[in-house]
Structure 1
Amino acid sequence: MDMSETSRPMIDEVDLMIDNARLRDELEPYRDESIDDPTTRRMPLKQENEYLASILAWERAPALPIRDWFDPPLSIPAPESLDDTALEATLIDTLVRLQSQNIVLSCTDHLSDRELYTLICRDILSCCEKKLASPGNELEWRCIDDNETWLAYYATPVERRRFQEEFQVDLPESRPLSRRRNLPGIRAHEQRE
């Protein structure tokens, strides 16, 4: 039997423990309950290290206005300066550019193109968010600002019933969506059947 075959897993485990100690040391200035979460101790060491590395990346990531995530910064014309045709083309280009930075918009189907474009221009591009460079990280922006809109357009019948039972309120009438946008990155379960 080759000794290198049996010693390799032991070396890997030692490397993982060393990485774990390093990550915990680097996270010390940011220490809170997410680092001390007891569920991390039930994770395999490799998975725990990935979790700790993601927390460290989050803590060190700069918070920037979303427009500054682009080089050069993303600047789009004011909505009132565009006719409907130009606005539609600019909206599509802007959505593609947002997706290139892993910014995913959801719950947009109740908005007109002009309303969505105005939301992007007025609220999204100026909002400061942490920019994470690691792959697989998305910033999801839900384009609703109140429960009434969610309940009217996006909540399933089960979600509506649960909300009503929990909060003992009258629900807004369920309304059909005015359009079905096929935005990049939108997951199927987020759209009401």
Structure 2
Amino acid sequence: MSETSRPMIDEVDLMIDNARLRDELEPYRDDSIDDPTMRYMPLPVENEYLASILAWERAPALPIRDWFNPPLQIPAPDALDDETLSSTLQRTIAKLKSQRIVLSCTDHLSDRELYRVIYRDILPCCEKKVAVEGNELEWRCVDDSETWLTYYADAVERRRFQEEHQIDLPKAKKPRYRRDAR
């Protein structure tokens, strides 16, 4: 086989994969599959995109605690003293990272507040567990625009928000706690 015929075979393989992916996606067909920007994607990128959509469609929606084997159970926040809670929080964040669950916007929360968010909001929440390389579930620990504007929005984001909503902004502050939850 000559060197010049190899790219043609790869292209044929890519086209066959593309047709297979499109066939498998047919039951889930919607606008994301017919996205006009896909016309400009190189075939390998399009196939990767289609494979990620297929993985999403087939992924089970499970409570995050059930993404672990055995399911991740942590003690209630009120059952722990501050020292035990802090060490349990660090272990829990590491376990979440092991399943590609990353926490962002956590620096305004104390350890106990963040632990409560994990215990009350994150672990029981049903999310799709998508097994695609490089895929992460980011959980933003901000529940309102005021907190985001106060601690996390940069000057440009703050200005845009103010122009869009015509409101007075809260004073920007540095978060009280520094942690690398990512």
Task: Give the TM-score of the pair, scaled to structure 2.
Answer: 0.98
CA distance in 2, matches of 1:12, 1:158: 46
Give runs of aligned pairs for residues 24-173 of structure 1, distance below 5 A. Answer: 24-173=22-171
- Amino acid in structure 1 at the alignment position of 2:164: E
Shift of 1:172: 1.2
Unaligned residue ranges in structure 1 (runs of 5+):
186-193
Deviation at 1:174, TM superposition (A): 1.4
- Counterpart residue identity of residue 13, structure 2: D
Q: Spell out, residue by residue over 1:8-34, the C-alpha distance to the aligned partner (whole angstroms, 9 max, x if none).
A: 111111111111011001000111111
Q: What SS does structure 1 have at the residue aligned with 2:157?
A: helix
CA–CA separation in structure 2 for the residues paired with 1:88 and 1:9: 55
C-alpha distance in 2, partners of 1:67/1:135? 21
Amino acid at match of 2:5: S
The Cα of 1:134 is off from its aligned counterpart by 2.0
Aligned to 1:4: 2
Of all paired residues, the percent bearing the same amino acid is 76
Question: Which segments of structure 1 move beyond 3 Å, counting only runs of 4 or more?
Answer: none
Query: 2:56 and 2:81 mapped to 1: Cα distance?
Result: 40
What is the SS of the residue equivalent to 1:104?
A: strand
AA at the equivalent of 2:175: L
Two-structure CA RMSD over aligned residues (Å): 0.8
Distance 2:147 2:87 in 1: 26
Aligned equivalents of 1:44 and 1:134: distance in 2?
A: 20
Give the AA of the match of 1:10.
Answer: M
* Aligned residue identity for 2:101: I
In structure 2, the residue matched to 1:181 is 179
Deviation for aligned residue 1:108: 0.2
How far off is 1:4 after superposition? 2.1
Residue identity matched to 2:157? E
Instruction: Give the alignment's TM-score, normalised by structure 1.
Output: 0.92
Indicate the SS of the match to 1:5: coil
